[in-house]
Structure 1
Amino acid sequence: MDANEVAQYLRENHDFFDRHAELFAIMKVPHPHEGRAVSLAERQVLTLRERTRSMEQRVSELVRAASENEHISDRLLLWSRSLLKARDPLELPGLVTAGLAETFSVPDVTLRIWGESGVEADAQAPWRAEVSADAKAFANGLMSPYCGPNSGFEAAGWLEREVRSMALIPLRIGIAPEAFGLLVLASPDAERFTPSMGTAFLSRIGELASAALSRLL
């Protein structure tokens, strides 16, 4: 019999070691991490311990991720609450940007809103500054937030200091094809916003910000 036939026989005869229990004590197999040989029973115990450690590590990772998600959800709730409490629509752009910067520790946050204003006295506000047609077209084309390096985006020029990575979040009402603004989260750290990051959370921020800022239209 070759090794494959032995393995197949053992798979088909699960009671083999029940009928030959003495083999556990006399059979020797290589230790998985050391150069010595151990009994079959000890090897099985080592295998089970490694599986247990792997499962414990996985559970620990899941618990940590759940804790981080809960912390993010709590902060998102605080930010959303501040937007709901605003009585004056002109306060909303500042609440959106300052709230994100403080609540989520983002170094730089700004936004632009274009189109006709439904609120008087905001024509000269900084968030109403001129935006090029190319930047508007770029925002219209974003079906989900952009997250990655600053590739010479016009929006980087809306901030006073160097931007090396950024998240660009289109502001739109529902599934409207055209955006009415752009929310910018930026950092001088090239690793703060990377293409490998998920954008689901940024999309939720965009939806909440869009709903709040639509009062200015």
Structure 2
Amino acid sequence: MKHSLVRWGTACLVVIAMAGCGGGGGGGGSSGQLVSSAAVNGAITAASAVAANDTATNTSASFTVVQGAGVPAVTVNGLPKVNFAVFSDGKIKSDLATTNVSFAIAKLVPGANGDPDQWVNYIYRKETATAGVGPGGVPALATAMQATTDGKQTDAALLAAQLVYNADGYYTYTFKTDIKDVAQTNGVTFEPGLTHRVAIQLSYKNAAGDTVLVNPYFDFIIDANGNSV
């Protein structure tokens, strides 16, 4: 089994990705594709044959190749969408399912009064303390909000559309969480003028049958059309 850095647990995924330990940094309207399908497919196919772009060793290529081909790696027009490719053994990996991926998204809030800049996640879950755990066997808090990854859709039709492989050679993942809705982000407000980061917990098998675990991430700003630049 091959590991790139560490395998993210649900709680650690956001912390690791947002701290900077990891990667680097279709079909028309649904993905925000800006150029012709033929041009996009040609660029992505050519990139897949370059050994240096293999996702197992160069996770940033998952985003930079797609963005360079004319498809915004991220769009935030309504629910966020992430466009990315996976390259393995000189080919485009085209058989991923939602079980192979988990996504996080955060904004970089500038520090004030000498404090450092801070990544603030948009997605949280409530953690309940375990009885008997804590100083003197007493939990410090009964519950706490913990940064986490985007949830999977529970409706079968929505789940089938959450991760889609585009024939041009890349995937489009649609978040379940509307990061513009503070009711869904535990009160964290969407600030499009700040630097943002998307991160993936990604697993897949290479041609040798080895499981590859990698943590691609992509830093970006959002233009007036809601596209990453």
**Pairwise TM-score range, normalised by the shorter structure:** under 0.3
**Larger C-alpha radius of gyration, 1 or 2?**
1
Larger fraction in helix = 1
Q: Could you tell me the TM-score, scaled by structure 1's length?
A: 0.25
Q: Could you tell me the TM-score, scaled by structure 2's length?
A: 0.24
